[in-house]
Every structure is written in C-alpha cells, then in structure tokens.
Amino acid sequence: MASLTGHTLFKKKEGILSFSSDHGAITWTPASGGPATVSLPVTNITNLQQTPDSSPKVMLKIFEKAESGNDPVTYLFHFNTQEAKAEAQAIKDLLSRLLADLRSTDANVSKLGAATAAPAANGDGSASASATLGSSNGISSQSMSPKWFDDSQLRMNIELQQSLMKKDKSLHQTYMSAISTKPDSMTSAAFNSQFWSMRINLLRAHAIEINQKKGAYNVLSTVKPRTVDGELKLNISVEQVQMIFAQHPLIKRIYNETVPRLSEAEFWSRFFLSKLAKRLKGERVTDNDPADAIFDKYSADGNALDEHAKTMSQPVPHIIDIEGNEENQGGFKGGNAKDVEMRPRANIPIVRTLNNLSEKIMANVPPSDSTTIDSKGLYDTSRGLILRDLRGEGEEQRIMLNIKERNNFFSSKDSPSLKNKDVFGNQQPTEILAKMRNLHAAGTDKVTDNGLQINIDLDVDSDSDKESKPGLNTARDAIKEAEKDVMAGIHQQRSQKYGGASDDSSPMGIPSLISEKSALTHATTIEFLHQFWDGFLSGDPDRAMEVQYLAESLARSTTRIQAVADEAEAERDNIIQKRKQEIRSHFERTGKKIRWKPDMVGGGRDAVSKVMQPTLDALRRAQDCYSKALGEENIQISTENV
Amino acid sequence: MGNSISYMCDLKKTLDAGGHCVLEMPSGTGKTVSLLSLIVAYQQHMPEKRKLIYCSRTMSEIEKALVELQSLMKYRAEQLGYEEEFRGLGLTSRKNLCLHPSVKREKSGSVVDARCRSLTAGFVKEKKDRGENVDVCVYHDNLDLLEPHNLIPNGVWSFDALLKYGEEHKQCPYFTARRMMEYCNVVIFSYHYLLDPKIAERVTKDFSKDCIVVFDEAHNIDNVCIESLSTDITEDSIRKATRSAQHLERRIAEMRETDQEQLQNEYEKLVQGLREADESRQEDAFMANPALPDDLLKEAVPGNIRRAEHFVAFLKRFLEYLKTRMKVRQVISETPLSFLAHLKEHTFIERKPLRFCAERLTSLVRTLELMNIEDYQALQEVATFATLVATYEKGFLLILEPYESDTAEVPNPTLHFTCLDAAIAIRPVFERFYSVIITSGTISPLEMYPKMLDFATVIQESYSMTLARRSFLPMIVTRGSDQASVSSSFQVRNEPSVVRNYGSLLTEFAKITPDGLVVFFPSYLYMESIISMWQGMGILDEVWKYKLILVETPDAQETSLALETYRTACCNGRGAILLCVARGKVSEGIDFDHQYGRTVLCIGVPFQYTESRILKARLEFLRETYRIKENDFLSFDAMRHAAQCLGRVLRGKDDYGVMVLADRRFQKKRNQLPKWINQGLSDADTNLSTDMAVSSARRFLKTMAQPFRSKDQEGISTWGYEDLMQHQRKIEEERGDEPPPPSANARAANDNRTTTYESDYEDIDQDMMELEGF
C-alpha cells in the first residue's frame, strides 16, 4: 500500500492530506511546513461525505466522534488541484475500506449496529449539496463478515436455514413436527422467525462454516508437467490458472500480451518449460535449459516489486522486531566477522521466493501482531506474553440471576421430597452421621453376629417429632427409607438412560418406536415452552395474542403426551396379549406352565408418564402461570379448557 | 512450582551473601517474573533500595522484561493498596527510540547515531544560541526545559509506552531514558551497556557498587564479552579511513585560517590533561574509548599527537603501515606485542600515542565541530583498533587472513584483532558490583561459566520442572526411515541420502504438526544449500501442501517481515514452517510459544565452523589457560545452542511442543542438555528412526489436544497459597524442627512469595480450553 496523499484546502489553507504510516490515522499537514495540525484516528471517524461526481468542487467531509456524546466534529477538506477527483476518490476509498475493516473485525454486534446507525442519522442532518456517502455501503460490499453478525439477516436467510437442517437431521425433525403442530392462527413466517430466533447461534456457526473456503496455496508447486511419449502433458484447472494469475501478476501480464497469438495450451506448456517458470519457483537456472523467445524477455523480479513497499510501511511490534534486535546496542559495533559458514551468501533465489510466496498467500489476512494499543495500554502481542498459567483469576463476566421463591419451582405438593422433609427435617445431620458411624463400626465388629442384628436404638428425637410414624423412628428405618429413595432415583435414571435390560433403545421398557415418539414429542413440547416463556415473560402487550396461541399449543402438547402414553399402553397390551398367546400355545404344546406376570412387561402408560413427568410438570406450571396472569387481568380463558 | 520457590530462595541467599551465582531455570516457567518479583520485593523492603540492573540480550527480550515488570508493579499496587514510588526504564539504541521525523527513517543504526549526534551535540546548541542557522532536534532540546531528575513520571515504561510518551510530550525517548538511568529503581538494557567499554563508559559509569546486576539469557555471555573487545580491519575500511583522514586535514587547514584560537584551546587542554572537565556532558561524544576503564591511561595526551595536524599525520602513517601489511598473501597470526614491535621498527610509531588514538580523535572531532560524522566511521574503526592493540597484550591475538576462504582466489584481506579471553571484559563488572546473577533457561553445564569467566559463585544450581502432564516431548532422531543414519557432519552432510532423509523428516512433521513448525540449521551456508537441494528433489513441493514456508534471510528487515507472516499464518490456522539458523537472528530472543511452535526440529548439531582460525586460537587459549579441552568446549557450545533452540517452544505450563534433535551425534551428547530437558527425554526416545519419531509425536500431540484444565495443575505445577505454606512446613521439618531465622529478610521474601504466587491460585478454564482448539 503506497501512501496516499491529497492536496487540499482546509480552513482556506493549503496543505496535504495523508495517512499515517500504519493507516491508523489521517493527517493534514499545512503546506507552509510545521507539524500536522489535524490528525484523526481512523477509529474515531464516524462518517464520510463527499461531493457528487457531477459537482465542480471536490470536497471530502470527515466526521469525528466527539467526546462526551456531543455532535460529531466535522472536517471539510477541499481538493483543489488538477487531480482532485482522483485523489479524493483514492483517499475516500482507502478510508472507507479502513473503516470497513475496523468494523468487520469488531465482533460486538451492538456496536456495529450503533456505528452504522449513526452515520445515517448524521446524513439526514447535513443533506445539502453533498450526497451522503453511506459508509455502511462500503462495508457490506467490501467485506462479507458482518452478515454473520446480523441476527435479522440470519433469521431471514431461508437458504441457510435449509442447508443447516439438511445437515442436522434432528433439528429438521424438530422443525417439521413443530411446524405441523403450530397453531393455525400463526403464520408460517412468524413461526419461522420464532423458531430460528432461538437458534441464531446455530445459524451463525453454520454460516461461518459454509463460508469457509480452501485458502490460497503455492500453485506452481502443484502443477507437474509430465512427459508421456515425448509429449508434454499438462493438467491445469481453471481455478489453478486463476490462482497463478493472482500469485504471479507477471504471468497475467504475459498472458494478456501473448495469448491471442499463442494458443492457450501452448502458452502454458511453454511457460512451464521456460526459465521464467524455474525462476519463479526459485530453482536454479542452468545453461542447459531451453531458450524461449517469449518468456526469456521477462525477469522474475518484476513479480515482487510491491513487496518492498510493504516492508517499509509496516511497523512491527518490538517483541518480534529482529531489525531492532540487530540495532539494539547502538554505536560502533565491535566483534570479528562471522566465519564462512555463518556468512550468508548474497542471493539465494529460492529463499526469497519462498518468503515472497508465503507473504503473498498471507497478504489478505490481517497481521496477527498488530501494534494497536488496547485499553490497558498493552499491545495485542505483548498480551500474548503473559504466562497464561500464572495469571490470576479473570473478572467475573456473568450476571447473577436471583430467583425468588425458588421452592415453588422444584417441589410439587405431593412430591416425595416434601414428605421426607417432615421426616428428616428435624434431625441434626452431625448427630445422624455420628450415629451412622457407630452403627457401621458396630456392624463390622460383629460380623459373626449375623450381619446387622444389632438393635441399638438410634432414635432420632422421638419426643420432639410427634407426627412421625413409629416405624420411622429408628435410624435403621430412616436409612432404609433414604436408601430406597436414592435407589429408586438411580434406577429410574438408569432405566431412562440405558433401558431396562442393557438395551438402550427401549428406556424403561418402552419400545423403541414409542420412545422415539416420546423423544420427539418432548422436543416439540420444549420448543413450545421456549416460545411460550419467551412471549410470556416479555411482558409485551402486543404479544398477548401470540401468547394466547402458544398457551393453547401447550394444552395441545399435554394431550399429545397423553396420546403417546395411550399409544404406549396399547402397545403394551398388545405385547402382553402376544405373550399370553405364546404361553398358552406353549402350554398346549408342552403342557408346561411358564411363570409369567404381566408386570414383567415394561413400558406402557405409566412408563411414558414417568419419563415425561418433568415435561408435564413444566407444562402445568406454564399453564398455571398463564391462567393466573389472565385471572389477574380479569380475562376469561377463551379457548378450550386447560 | 517448587522449583520457582527454590530459585527465589537461592536468589535471596545470593543477595544476602553479597556474591555471584549461576542459576539455570527451565525456559518459559516464569523465570523473569520470579526474578523480578523477588528482587523488587527485596529492594523495596531494604532501606538501601539497591538498584537493579537487569541485562538481557536483545531488544525483544528487554521489552518482554519491561512488560513483565509493568504487570508485577501493577500487582504489587493492587496488593499493597497504594502505588510505590518506583521507576523502571529500558534502554536501547537511538535507532529504536528515535522520533525525529527524518533521522528515524535512516535504515542503518550507525547513520542514525551519527545524525543524532550532529543534531544534539553540545556545540550545535551553542551555535544555535549564537544565532547561527543550524539544524537541531526539537525532541532533544525540549528535554532541557524539564527538571533534569524528573524527565518522565514514575512508573514502568516499556519501549512502546516510552515512545508514545515521547511523541505526546515531544521529548526524546532515548535521552529521556539515558538521563534517567541514575534515578531508576530498575534499569533494563542490553549486556553491552555493561560489558562493552565503548558504550559502558558513557552510560553506566555512575552506578553505585551495591547495584544488583542480573544477566538474563546469559548462556551466550562469553561471546558478548569477546565481541566487545574484538575488531576487524578490512582493506575497504582502510581506504575509507584514509579518505576521512584527508578530509580532516582539510578541515584543520580551514579552521586554522578562521579560528586559530579554537585549535589552540584544544592544545592547551590536552597539555593540562583536562579531559575530565570537558567530558562532563559528553553523553553524545563521537566515540568512547574502547578500552576497559581500568586500563585507561590517566595522564595527558602525549606531545607528538597533541597538535591536530600532527595527529592526522600520525594517523595517516599508521594507515599506510596497515595498507602494506594487508598486501601479504599468507596467513599471519601474531601477538599484539609482536605487531607493535614490527610497527615500531618500520614506522617509529610508539605504543603510548597509539593508545590515545581513540581519545584524541574524539577530541579533534569535537574541536572541529564536524557535522556529518557518519563519514568518519571507518576512521573510528581504525582508531579503535589502534587503541585496543596498544592496550592489551595477553588474551588477544592478531590474525591476518588474505583470503575469505580456502578456495577463494581473489584476495580480500582482513586483519582480525580478536579477544580470546571472555573474562577480561566481564572482570570489571564482577569487581565493581558485589551481586551479579547469571541466569538462563539453558546454561548447562553450569561449571563451565565460572571457569570461562573466571569468577567464584555463592550458588550454582539447575532446577528441574514440575509438570502436571508431560508437556514436551524431546526426541533424538538418528536414522531416516531407510535406517541410514543422519548427520550434519562435514563428510556426509551434502550426500543426497542424508538430505533426502532430512527432507522426509521435515515433510512428515509438516503433516502432523498443528500450526507452527520451526526448523533450525547449524549454519546459513548449510541451510541455503539444503533448501536448494530440497527444491530440486521436490521435497518442498510436498511440504507446500501442508504449510507455508518462510526462511530467515541475511536481511533483518526481510526476516522481520517473514516472521510476521509466519506468526499470522500460525494464528490464522494456515500453518507455516520457519527455517532458520541456530546461531542466527531468530534464535535469539524470539519465542515460539503455543501455536507459534508446536514442533521444533534441530537439523544437525550446531557446531561452530571448526576450520575458523579465530575459533582455533580461542580453543588453544582455553586449553592452556583454563584447562578446558577443545572437544569439551566445542560440544558444550553446540549443545547450548541446540538447547536454546529447543527451549524456544515452551512458554508456560499450559504450552506444549515436540522437540526433535535430528543427528546421529546427539545420542552421545544427551548429558550435555539442560537438566530439565534431559529429564524429559526417555531412554526409548534417544535412538529413533524418522517413522518411529513421527508415530511417537503423533501420539503425543493427540494426548496434548485433550482438554487440560488448570485445576489439574493445582498443587503440582501451580501452587496456591496453601500449597506454598505446606511446602514451607515440609522444608522446615526436613531441617529438623529448627525454626527458620526470623530475620526481616526472610519475612520480606515470604511476603513476596505470597504476592507472586497467589495469582497462580486459579486460572480460567476457558483460556485453557481455547488452547486446545489449536
């Protein structure tokens, strides 16, 4: 990037508008000499305005973000030379690109929104002769990335959503079943945006994923001409040609100049045999190489011209500044010359080629070692210096969520925990523990004594706990109770996870078909719950109708679960019938009875209800809340009964 | 973490005892921060407030140390609840600190120095005051408006911060730092500022005896010592010097016509030996005396070179003599005494005036008020040479090499004046300061350093590394996949089979290494030839499929850019290979931590070029004077550089990397590796073929890619306050219930330890997870 300048008038004084070497600021230096009087950091620029092309005067207006939220400060530069248009255009282009880069690297969505909104507002205010130069246009046309950060764009992008669903089958299923059960009153567009608004993160990840392309690579090294039967064969794809042109502008130039005369194929086959190709690859050229009238005219140096300009303009952070290291001691350097082995030879073509190529391939990537200083006065790069394992605790970033009356969420009235509360509520944990330990010690001491035959009365507090049933008063019973409770929980958890008998497709003995169905029902129910709470808690009166529909759908969800449960019951009956049939036929054939009880068949309504219990609780809770809220508003529930 | 504690305890013992020490602490385990935190705590606690002089090799390392100091002071302020009165500054060359719009653009550091001097010299200001139209530097002159002892507010200033402050307040960062040196609690700069008399005299002569001197990354310190007292004269430099001498002559003639008085003044001063008075504000003098302060003659300049025209004639005579010496077409190696005898015989130049050459030239340049002093650089070199050769007898040698190499046909004579004894340059430092700490990540074998540098230590210690997981995998590859042995020894290194085997090693590691792969070669020459051969064999084409390739070049700026591209490619996920030289620019002071280096390949043992006459002379000297065998030294030297290369890839205990030493000869040199690397090297990994190494590395990298939570490290490689207390109790018990001496010092150290290590207490798991993504 050569440094751009423009001759301008600023406050009726002549001067030069230019960029600082790191493109971090735009400066205006008076022609009369002296230091720059105007220096605007690019980060502070909020908007640009330019006179339209038709206007005879060429002016560029820059808005600088003002401190403490005042109106932005404006700077008007008048380009007054012959090349005014070109200069102004160049500066504007660079500036808008810098701004775009700046914003695209800023992952903070809200800030992006604010930044783009501000120029628009400013534009309205000062819409005089100069046409507003939407700096936001520049952004979207120049860089793709902001698309990923804009929620609404993601929500609207149906193509993207479909491709995501194609990839993620279960998401697709959820979507389909959700859409099939959505209330009719809800438009599919509304449903769509509802559905996706909760999955923006998935969409964004997917968008970024599919937008990733294979990066540039050293293309010349991949093309290998082969000689078959004395004839040169070359496989080269369009994409490779494009990449060659991109990496070696020189070849593009030669191609432009020669190809109409030379056939495409001949051009490439001659090129890959020429000395130029060898030079570009960094190989040594020998006298034996065939001469080529076209390619020998060009020198490979022409390819790398722009690189050196770049070398000069880029500041390097101090911690990797090798040049600075070389110059570290200052003054007259002593020491003997390096020995032959360590003295680098003047020019090894391959070395330069390797570096040039790699640099070219990485040219589009912003350097990772920026020299911009962050708020803590540290370079990005010097932050990398901090030993990560020796760093203290980071500041907490989360927001504490305080839930009032938490109990209401977790205990329904007749849940066993509540019952237990009465039993165990008055016991002192430390005492119990001590007694437990005694019991245990006693038990192990008297192994001969037929196990736990001791009857130490670990009486909890029989006088204080009046309500407690007599059977529960001994510690043994208490332990048993606890054990039963815990084991039941574990059993249920286990059977939900792994199925009754090591068969994980049928949790709790529910046949796999039914279990799949319940899983799906569960997913859709959760989906509706999501939407319901989202709408319900928003407190937005405009969404009242929507919430009502959603509440209805919750009711329907309950019936759906019931339906699944019924189905499961039917299935179970079916199995029992079959089994009975089998037993009967078996008996008829062999005369032997098989001991079997219908209880041994798992699944059925109970199992499904058990599995779905949390979901049903959640539904009930949601509906209660809704009806309570309605009750407070004195509105009758207009739809079917809950 | 136990090793950090013992490191700090040993440091403190050294400080209390007021002696010197050599400490080896594994790279990237927080050596710098342990060192700084202990010394700063010690310093702040003790009433004397001993100044810390912290020396490092390169600007990169100085900047890193400054940044560490900055965060340390921030932490102290947080813990103490107030900010201490504290100032920490770093110093580097003018080239790196210049803000003058045109001077800073100069590419060469010596031109920057010269131009800076011509803008800031005392006489320039006088001229300006007289109303003459001369160019001055605003940044420099603004400093005169400030209080001389308060040019910059308290705090720790990294170079970046200093430059920014300078730009904001329009004041020169270089002179700010330099003039503030004496008012600082911590000064961080390059070794040269203490060791090289050409610089040290101006910068550090006012430092008091009780300063604490630290040489960090000191594994190469002997070479720096030698460099500071050696110099070369080439035919080209004689030619340029002759031209400068003629120029001087003309200027003297001009001055005689216009300003006779000025010259007379100078003469008078020289008669009276009044240089002290004159030098009071000579921070920007043309050049400093290259001889060590103890060897300087404290008497008046001899009569025969007092007059300006006489001195120039004297110089010209000396140049003529050198010219004739250069005509000889065979290698000559002689002692300074024999050189001086020959010189006297042919030109009647005495030793004493020769010793004053540098000083006399400085005075002349000042008197003549020369503006474009960069033209006199070659003359400066010759004067330096003259002074050195006339000052030193023992431990020095003159070698005249008429040809660059044995095969060269065109003569390119060079006269090397080489210092053979590293102890000479560092001796004044040991004598002047009573606590000198020499430390590095790779400074094995420890006993070599006190021997070579001729000093006694209070403590010599090498610490191991406690890790919660095996975070680095050192391996020695002795054979290629075809079982043929690989080596970079002169006889076989260009054999196609060896080159191909090295090539396939590179390709295989390029395939399995995530992000960055660093390769070190023993020399530039070998690197260049092997790269060319690889290109011819199509090996590089294969490597291109997996990684970008970048190479260290002779040009520092180009290499900087290559390094930046490399780092960008590593961060971006593209991945890259950096090919560089074990003794080159990149191996000094650039870290390849985390994604910047997941594998380091050391191709060949980085031996020095053994045919070098200078090296041979030094080996002989070491054998005769310090009883160090040739092979011991060569092998030690090669292994310290190899270890240095390996150590570059680790920084912090969450980091990991593969270290490959690819040469048959490494197998026998294993014991010369630093303790911490050697401990990590399992016996099974000392004799591997390429394919075995690759599969082992692949397994290692897979293991390392698993999530590693910082909690797993607690109590093992990172300690909280509780762990620390427990450790202390354990130590006390081991000592046999003897309570530790409850001195104030011990308490100071304890306080400090807690301050430093409390921060280890908990890390953020997220950070660790982030890493695993790479």
Identify the residue among A338, A343, A358 best suited for mutation to test binding to B, counting B beta carbons within 10 A and taking the highest.
A358
Q: How far is B97 from chain A (nearest CA, A)?
A: 10
Mean pLDDT for chain A?
Answer: 70
> Within an 8 Å CB–CB cutoff, is residue B672 touching chain A?
no
**Do B767 and A392 lie within an 8 Å CB cutoff?**
no
Residue B101 lies in a domain: no
ipTM of the complex: 0.81
Which pLDDT belongs to residue A641? Answer: 43
Name the most confidently modeled range: A326-340, B140-154, B311-325, B459-473. B311-325
Residue A479 lies in a domain: no
Which pLDDT belongs to residue B222? Answer: 92
Q: How confident is the model at residue B87 (pLDDT cuts 50, 70, 90)?
A: very high
CA distance B570 to A583: 70
Which one has a higher pLDDT value, A384 or A51? A51
> Within an 8 Å CB–CB cutoff, is residue B540 touching chain A?
yes
Residue B494 lies in a domain: yes
Q: How far is A362 from chain B (nearest CA, A)?
A: 7
Looking at the fold, whether B457 and B478 belong to one and the same domain comes out as: no
DSSP state of A66: P
Which pLDDT belongs to residue A332? Answer: 67
Which pLDDT belongs to residue B753? Answer: 41
Which pLDDT belongs to residue B613? Answer: 92
**Do A368 and B571 lie within an 8 Å CB cutoff?**
yes
List of chain A residues whose C-beta atoms are within 8 Å of the C-beta of residue B576: 358
Residues A399-453 have pLDDT tens digits of: 777 766 666 555 444 445 545 555 555 666 777 777 777 766 654 444 444 444 4
- Domain range spanning residue B206? 3-86+185-218+434-462
Chain A: residue nearest B574 by CA?
A215
Residue A569 lies in a domain: yes
Q: How far is A310 from chain B (nearest CA, A)?
A: 9
Smallest Cβ–Cβ distance between A325 and the set B28, B59, B230 belongs to B59
Which pLDDT belongs to residue A492? Answer: 74
Q: Which two tokens stand for residue A362?
A: 């990485």
Contact, B23 vs B461, CB < 8 A? Answer: yes
Looking at the fold, whether B559 and B453 belong to one and the same domain comes out as: no
Residue B180 lies in a domain: no
List of chain A residues whose C-beta atoms are within 8 Å of the C-beta of residue B654: 388-389
Question: What sections of B545-689 are H helices per DSSP?
Answer: 556-572, 613-626, 630-647, 666-669, 675-680
Q: How far is A296 from chain B (nearest CA, A)?
A: 21
List of chain A residues whose C-beta atoms are within 8 Å of the C-beta of residue B716: none
Which pLDDT belongs to residue A123? Answer: 36
**Do A345 and B524 lie within an 8 Å CB cutoff?**
yes
Mean pLDDT for chain B?
Answer: 86
List of chain A residues whose C-beta atoms are within 8 Å of the C-beta of residue B565: 355, 358-359, 362, 367
The proportion of chain A whose per-residue pLDDT surpasses 90, expressed as a percent, equals: 0
pLDDT reading at B692 higher than 90: yes
Which residues, at least 6 apart from B47, have a Cβ–Cβ distance to it below 8 Å?
A: none
Residues A70-113 have pLDDT tens digits of: 566 777 777 777 777 777 777 777 777 777 776 665 444 333 33
Which pLDDT belongs to residue A469? Answer: 47
CA distance A164 to B129: 77
Q: What is the per-residue burial (b if ≥16 Cβ within 10 Å, else e) of A28-57? A: bbbeeeeebebebebeebbbbbbbeeeeee
**Do A328 and B93 lie within an 8 Å CB cutoff?**
yes
Looking at the fold, whether B339 and B417 belong to one and the same domain comes out as: yes
Q: How confident is the model at residue A392 (pLDDT cuts 50, 70, 90)?
A: low
CA distance B200 to B426: 12
pLDDT reading at B757 higher than 70: no
Q: Find the length of chain A.
A: 642
Residue A384 lies in a domain: no
Looking at the fold, whether B342 and B245 belong to one and the same domain comes out as: yes
Q: How far is A277 from chain B (nearest CA, A)?
A: 14
List of chain A residues whose C-beta atoms are within 8 Å of the C-beta of residue B561: 310-311, 314, 316, 355, 359
- Pseudo-torsion of CA B696, B699, B700, B704, nearest 10°? 170
- Domain edge (last residue) among A105, A131, A151: A105
Looking at the fold, whether B487 and B396 belong to one and the same domain comes out as: no
User: Which CATH number belongs to the domain containing residue B10 in this structure?
Assistant: 3.40.50.300
Which pLDDT belongs to residue B624? Answer: 93
Q: How far is B739 from chain A (nearest CA, A)?
A: 30
| Mean pLDDT in residue range B163-171 | 92
Residue A335 lies in a domain: no
* Alpha-carbon distances, residue B429 vs B135, B208, B715 (angstroms): 39, 12, 40
- Domain edge (last residue) among B681, B708, B735: B708
- Domain edge (last residue) among A75, A105, A135: A105
Which one has a higher pLDDT value, B734 or A457? B734
CA distance A156 to A59: 39
Q: How confident is the model at residue A337 (pLDDT cuts 50, 70, 90)?
A: confident
Residue A380 lies in a domain: no
Looking at the fold, whether B642 and B695 belong to one and the same domain comes out as: yes
* Alpha-carbon distances, residue A33 vs A11, A81, A222, B23 (angstroms): 16, 19, 54, 56
Residue B290 lies in a domain: yes
Q: How many A-B residue pairs are in contact by the CB < 8 A criterion?
A: 302
Which pLDDT belongs to residue A141? Answer: 35
Q: How far is A372 from chain B (nearest CA, A)?
A: 11
Residue A457 lies in a domain: no
Looking at the fold, whether B255 and B385 belong to one and the same domain comes out as: yes
pLDDT reading at A136 higher than 50: no
| Mean pLDDT in residue range B450-464 | 91
> Which of A133, A616, A131 is closest to A412 using CA atoms?
A616
pLDDT reading at A596 higher than 90: no
Distance between first and last Cα of chain B: 26
List of chain A residues whose C-beta atoms are within 8 Å of the C-beta of residue B28: 387
Residues B362-392 have pLDDT tens digits of: 888 888 888 777 788 899 889 999 999 999 9
Which pLDDT belongs to residue B274? Answer: 52
Looking at the structure of chain B, the number of domains it has is: 3
Residues A6-37 have pLDDT tens digits of: 777 777 777 777 777 667 777 777 766 656 67
Residues B503-553 have pLDDT tens digits of: 999 999 999 999 999 999 999 999 999 999 998 898 999 999 999 999 998
Looking at the structure of chain A, the number of domains it has is: 2
Which pLDDT belongs to residue A192? Answer: 82
**Do A332 and B377 lie within an 8 Å CB cutoff?**
yes
Looking at the fold, whether B391 and B480 belong to one and the same domain comes out as: no
Looking at the fold, whether B595 and B662 belong to one and the same domain comes out as: yes
- Domain edge (last residue) among A105, A137, A155: A105
Bridge partners, residue B23, by sequence: B439, B461
Q: How far is B49 from chain A (nearest CA, A)?
A: 27
Looking at the fold, whether B551 and B578 belong to one and the same domain comes out as: yes
Residue B518 lies in a domain: yes
Residue A458 lies in a domain: no
Smallest Cβ–Cβ distance between B550 and the set A345, A358, A366 belongs to A358
| Mean pLDDT in residue range B613-621 | 94
User: Which CATH number belongs to the domain containing residue A82 in this structure?
Assistant: 2.30.29.30
Residue B109 lies in a domain: no
- Domain range spanning residue A13? 5-105
| Mean pLDDT in residue range B320-346 | 93
Neighbours of B338 (CB within 10 A): 12
> Within an 8 Å CB–CB cutoff, is residue B190 touching chain A?
yes
> Within an 8 Å CB–CB cutoff, is residue B232 touching chain A?
yes
Which of these ranges, A209-218, A507-516, A568-577, B696-705, has the smallest mean pLDDT? A507-516
CA distance A39 to A417: 70
> Which of B277, B89, B293 is closest to B206 using CA atoms?
B293
pLDDT reading at A502 higher than 70: no
pLDDT reading at B82 higher than 70: yes
Residue B52 lies in a domain: yes
Which of these ranges, A202-206, B482-486, B712-716, has the smallest mean pLDDT? B712-716
pLDDT reading at A465 higher than 60: no
Looking at the fold, whether B484 and B528 belong to one and the same domain comes out as: yes
pLDDT reading at B598 higher than 90: yes
Residues B627-650 have pLDDT tens digits of: 999 999 999 999 999 999 998 888
Q: How confident is the model at residue B754 (pLDDT cuts 50, 70, 90)?
A: very low
Identify the residue among B29, B55, B58, B286 best suited for mutation to test binding to A, counting A beta carbons within 10 A and taking the highest.
B58
pLDDT reading at A454 higher than 60: no
Which pLDDT belongs to residue B516? Answer: 93
Residue A185 lies in a domain: no
Residue B133 lies in a domain: no
Looking at the fold, whether B441 and B565 belong to one and the same domain comes out as: no
> Which of B486, B464, B467 is closest to B693 using CA atoms?
B486
Which residues, at least 6 apart from A400, have a Cβ–Cβ distance to it below 8 Å?
A: none
Name the most confidently modeled range: A542-556, B133-147, B495-509. B495-509
